[in-house]
């Protein structure tokens, strides 16, 4: 299998006009093998991406003491400095800085949900309204793309196209702009310092925009690392452990990592587009044939994601 077929480029254009079948078939083929694809015609305007990139790089280039004013009070929202986060199982913290925002619920919606740490308000640099505007514009645009994509994913699993919509009333959407500083010297020691250490994502679906630097690598079926080379005007899409579980292991949540060997800074925007906190994730929803047992008990999306986050924190302090 060549790299092109391992991480195929899928045109989302038909799905924008309601034709999910064609896109769904291609998504199915990608998600059963690599769990990754690129999508073109994702619908997010180039200016929207470029503006968030500009605003974010301006922010990341500020002195650390200035950025630290926006460090998280809760739910990892705001600015997270280098060495702040460590991937589960990793020897060292990730060599990246990131700024994260999440959903802000109306008081009525908040009341409907159990109190949880993923809820909260976003943190914004008060003197940078253009940063906030760019972030929120992208947040909305990428959610629209996510909704269309999920209709195609529903089709790919022989589910009605509204299947995911019903589980995404107030989605757990976390969007991060990520800055990987130039890091050549980091390869001299025997323990590699990853931009992001090898991992699978926790949730359902990840939509990633990456600049032209390169560095994202995905494990192939022989457990070798292959580059997810930057392709202009595309997003990289991958599934996480929760959709793998929901699909009763039909779809693969694949290992990936970031190694910024370029000697230059790298910039990406990751969106973890996950269901409602109280959405029940049950493989039986697929309408499994009698001969196929469900591999997993039902679990709520929020409980599952919180458990994965806290397990990772336990390993960090162990």
Rule CB under 5 A: which residues touch Fe ion? Answer: 201
Q: How far is CA 300 from the centre of its chain?
A: 19
Q: Is 145 helix (H, G, I), strand (E, B) or coil?
A: helix
User: What is d(CA 311, CA 308) in angstroms, rounded to the nearest whole number?
Assistant: 5
CB of 81 to ligand AKG, least distance (A): 16
**Residue 295 CB: number of other CB atoms within 10 A?**
12
Least spacing, CB of residue 80 vs ligand AKG, in Å: 11
Structure tokens belonging to residue 189: 């020691």
Q: Which is nearer to ligand AKG, 55 or 248 (CB)?
A: 55
DSSP secondary structure letters along 180-237 = E---GGGGSSSS---SEEEE--SSSEEEEEE-TT--EEEE-TTS-EEE----TTEEEE
216 interface partner picked from ligand AKG, Fe ion, none, CB below 5 to 8 A per type? ligand AKG
Asked whether position 216 contacts ligand AKG by CB under 6 A, the answer is yes
Q: What phi, psi does 144 have (nearest 5°)?
A: -60, -45
- Please pick, from the candidates 12, 23, 123, 178, the single residue that binds ligand AKG as defined by CB under 6 A: 178
Site for ligand AKG contains 270 (CB under 6 A):
yes
Binding partner of residue 252 among Fe ion, ligand AKG, none, CB cut-off 5 to 8 Å per kind: none
Q: Which of 96, 191, 149, 157 is nearest to 283 (CA)?
A: 157
Selected from 37, 258, 279, 301, the binder of ligand AKG by CB under 6 A is 258
Interaction mask 125-164, ligand AKG, x per CB under 6 A: ----------------------------------------
From 196, 197, 243, 279, residue interacting with ligand AKG (rule: CB under 6 A): 196
208 binds ligand AKG (CB under 6 A): yes
DSSP 254-272: --EEE---SSS-EEEEEEE
- Tell me: does residue 268 bind ligand AKG (CB under 6 A): yes
What end-to-end distance do the CA atoms of the chain give, in Å?
40
Nearer to ligand AKG, 85 or 248 (CB): 85
44 near ligand AKG (CB under 6 A): no
Residue 78 or 203 with smaller CB distance to Fe ion: 203
Q: Please, what is the minimum distance in Å from the beta carbon of residue 92 to ligand AKG?
A: 16
Provide the minimum distance between the beta carbon of 270 and ligand AKG in the complex, in angstroms, as a whole number.
4
Task: Name the site residues for ligand AKG (rule: CB under 6 A).
Answer: 178, 196, 201, 208, 210, 216, 256, 258, 268, 270
């Amino acid at each position: 299998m060549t790299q092109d077929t391992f991480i195929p480029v899928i045109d989302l254009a038909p799905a924008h006009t309601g034709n999910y079948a064609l896109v769904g078939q291609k998504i199915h083929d990608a998600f059963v093998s690599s769990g990754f694809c690129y999508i073109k015609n994702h619908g997010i305007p180039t200016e929207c991406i470029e503006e968030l990139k500009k605003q974010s790089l301006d922010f990341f280039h500020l002195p650390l003491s200035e950025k630290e004013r926006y460090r998280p009070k809760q739910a990892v929202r705001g600015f997270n400095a280098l060495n702040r986060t460590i991937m589960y199982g990793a020897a060292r913290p990730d060599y990246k800085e990131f700024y994260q925002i999440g959903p802000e619920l109306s008081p009525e919606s908040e009341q409907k949900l159990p109190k949880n740490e993923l809820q909260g308000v976003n943190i914004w640099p008060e003197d940078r309204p253009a940063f906030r505007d760019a972030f929120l514009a992208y947040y909305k645009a990428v959610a629209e793309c996510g909704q269309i994509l999920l209709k195609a994913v529903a089709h790919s699993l022989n589910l009605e196209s509204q299947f995911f919509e019903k589980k995404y009333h107030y989605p757990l959407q976390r969007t991060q702009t990520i800055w990987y500083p130039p890091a050549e010297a980091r390869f001299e020691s025997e323990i590699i310092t990853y931009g992001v250490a090898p991992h699978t994502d926790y949730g359902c679906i990840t939509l990633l925009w990456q600049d032209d630097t390169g560095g994202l690598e995905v494990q192939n079926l022989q457990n070798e690392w292959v580059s997810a080379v930057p392709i202009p005007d595309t997003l990289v899409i991958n599934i996480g452990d929760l959709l793998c579980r929901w699909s009763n292991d039909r779809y693969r949540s694949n290992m990936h990592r970031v190694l910024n060997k370029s000697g230059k800074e790298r910039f990406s925007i990751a969106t973890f587009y996950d269901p409602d906190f109280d959405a029940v994730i049950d493989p039986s929803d697929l309408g499994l044939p009698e001969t196929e047992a469900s591999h997993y008990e039902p679990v709520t999306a929020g409980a599952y994601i919180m458990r994965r986050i806290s397990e990772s924190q336990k390993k960090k302090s162990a």
